[in-house]
Amino acid sequence: MPDEIVFMNWRKILTTSLVVCATSYVSPAQKIYEMDVNVPEMRIYSDHLKLGGTNPKGEKISVNNYYISINNKSIIPVTGEFHFSRYPNQYWDESIKKMKAGGITVIPTYVFWNLHEEEEGKFLWSGDKNLRTFIELCRKNNMYAIVRIGPFCHGEIRNGGMPDWLLGKPLNIRINDPMYLSYVQRLYRQIATQLKGLYYQDGGPIIGIQIENEYQHSAAPWGLTYPGQPHDFTASERDRDVTHEGVAVSTEKNPYADLGNDHMKALKTIAVREGIIAPIYTATGWGNAAIIPNESIPVTAAYAYPFWTPKRDFSPFFLYKNMHAKPDYAPVRYKPEDYPAFPAELGSGISLVYTRRPVVVHQSFDAMINRCLGSGANGVGYYMFHGGSTPRGKNNYMNDEAYGVTKISYEYQGPIGEYGQVREGFHRLKLIHFFLKDFGDLLAPMQVVLPANAPGLTPENTRDLRYAARIKGNAGFLFLNNFQDDTTMLDQDNIRVKIKTGNGDVLVPETGGINLVSGENAILPFNFNLNGTKLNYATAQLLMKGDNANPYFVFFTPKGINGEFSFAPGTTVENVRGATIDPTAKRVLVKCKEKLSEFSIVAGGKKTNVLVIDKALALKSYIVSLNGKKSLFFSEAVVLQNENRFELLSEGINSFDVDIYPKTTIIPKASVGTVTAIRNANTFSSYRFTLPLFQFAATTKEISTRKMTVALPQTIPPGVNDIWLNVNYTGDTGMDFINGELVADNFYNGIPWQVGLRKFMASPAKPKEMVLYFRPMEKNATYLLDLQPYPQYIPDFGKSASYLKVNSISFTPQYKTTIKF
**Integer distance in angstroms from the first to the last C-alpha of the chain?**
63
pLDDT (average), residues 382-399: 97
* pLDDT tier for residue 471 given thresholds of 50, 70 and 90: very high
pLDDT digit string, tens, across residues 724-761 = 999 999 999 999 999 999 999 999 999 999 999 999 99
Residue 530: how many other CB atoms lie within 10 Å? 21
Q: Please give the DSSP secondary-structure letter assigned to residue 784.
A: H
SS (H, E, C) 213-253: CCCCCECCECCCCCCCCCCCECCCHHHHHHCECCCCCCCCC
The number of residues in the chain equals 821
Strands 521-530 and 466-472: unpaired
Q: 459 near 316, Cβ under 8 Å?
A: yes
* Residue 570 vs residues 528, 584, 587: alpha-carbon distances, Å: 16, 8, 7
- The pLDDT value recorded for residue 48 is 98
pLDDT (average), residues 452-471: 95
- Cα-based angle 715, 719, 724 (whole degrees, multiple of 5): 60
- How far apart are alpha carbons 27 and 42 in whole angstroms? 37
- How far apart are alpha carbons 751 and 702 in whole angstroms? 23
Q: Mean pLDDT across the chain, nearest whole number?
A: 94
Alpha carbon 390 to chain centroid, angstroms? 21
Q: 553 near 525, Cβ under 8 Å?
A: no
- Percentage of the residues of the chain whose pLDDT score is greater than 70: 96
**3-class DSSP assignment, residue 457:** coil
Q: Please give the DSSP secondary-structure letter assigned to residue 386.
A: B
Identify the CA nearest to 408 among candidates 421, 422, 395, 418: 418
- How far apart are alpha carbons 47 and 64 in whole angstroms? 8
* DSSP count for the chain of H helices, then E strands: 10, 53
- The pLDDT value recorded for residue 415 is 98
* pLDDT tier for residue 764 given thresholds of 50, 70 and 90: confident
Is residue 21 pLDDT above 60, yes or no?
no
Is residue 390 pLDDT above 50, yes or no?
yes
- How far apart are alpha carbons 619 and 98 in whole angstroms? 15
**3-class DSSP assignment, residue 293:** coil
Please give the helix or strand (H or E) that residue 618 lies within, else none: helix 615-618
Please give the helix or strand (H or E) that residue 754 lies within, else none: strand 753-756
Q: What share of the chain is helix, strand, coil (3-state, %, to 5)?
A: 15, 35, 45
Residues 6+ apart with CB under 8 A from 115: 85, 124, 129, 157, 161, 391, 393, 398
Q: 731 near 748, Cβ under 8 Å?
A: yes
- The pLDDT value recorded for residue 30 is 83
**Angle subtended by helix axes 257-273 and 178-195, to nearest 10:** 40
- How far apart are alpha carbons 66 and 323 in whole angstroms? 11
* Residue 353 vs residues 8, 156, 307, 733, 775: alpha-carbon distances, Å: 47, 10, 7, 11, 16
- Percentage of the residues of the chain whose pLDDT score is greater than 90: 93
- The pLDDT value recorded for residue 26 is 43
* pLDDT tier for residue 605 given thresholds of 50, 70 and 90: confident
**3-class DSSP assignment, residue 193:** helix
Identify the CA nearest to 384 among candidates 435, 354, 420: 420
Is residue 87 pLDDT above 70, yes or no?
yes
Residue 609: how many other CB atoms lie within 10 Å? 20
Q: 192 near 436, Cβ under 8 Å?
A: no
- The pLDDT value recorded for residue 604 is 83
Residue 319: how many other CB atoms lie within 10 Å? 20
* pLDDT tier for residue 8 given thresholds of 50, 70 and 90: very low
Is residue 19 pLDDT above 50, yes or no?
no
- How far apart are alpha carbons 808 and 805 in whole angstroms? 9
- How far apart are alpha carbons 558 and 562 in whole angstroms? 8
- The pLDDT value recorded for residue 681 is 64
**3-class DSSP assignment, residue 316:** coil
- Cα-based angle 126, 127, 130 (whole degrees, multiple of 5): 55
When mean pLDDT is compared across 26-35, 85-94, 173-182, 397-406, the lowest value belongs to 26-35
- The pLDDT value recorded for residue 29 is 66
CA-derived radius of gyration, the chain: 27
Is residue 612 pLDDT above 70, yes or no?
yes
Residue 785: how many other CB atoms lie within 10 Å? 15
Buried/exposed 387-408: b ≥16 CB within 10 Å, e otherwise: bbbbbebeebbbbbbbbbbbbb
Q: Please give the DSSP secondary-structure letter assigned to residue 143.
A: -
pLDDT digit string, tens, across residues 144-166 = 999 999 999 999 999 999 999 99
Residue 669: how many other CB atoms lie within 10 Å? 12
- How far apart are alpha carbons 519 and 521 in whole angstroms? 7
The torsion defined by the Cα of 287, 292, 293 and 295, in degrees rounded to 10, comes to -130
pLDDT (average), residues 202-206: 98
The torsion defined by the Cα of 258, 264, 270 and 274, in degrees rounded to 10, comes to -160
Is residue 28 pLDDT above 80, yes or no?
no
Please give the helix or strand (H or E) that residue 99 lies within, else none: helix 92-101
Is residue 11 pLDDT above 60, yes or no?
no
The CB-side HSE value for 450 (13 A sphere, CA atoms) comes to 28
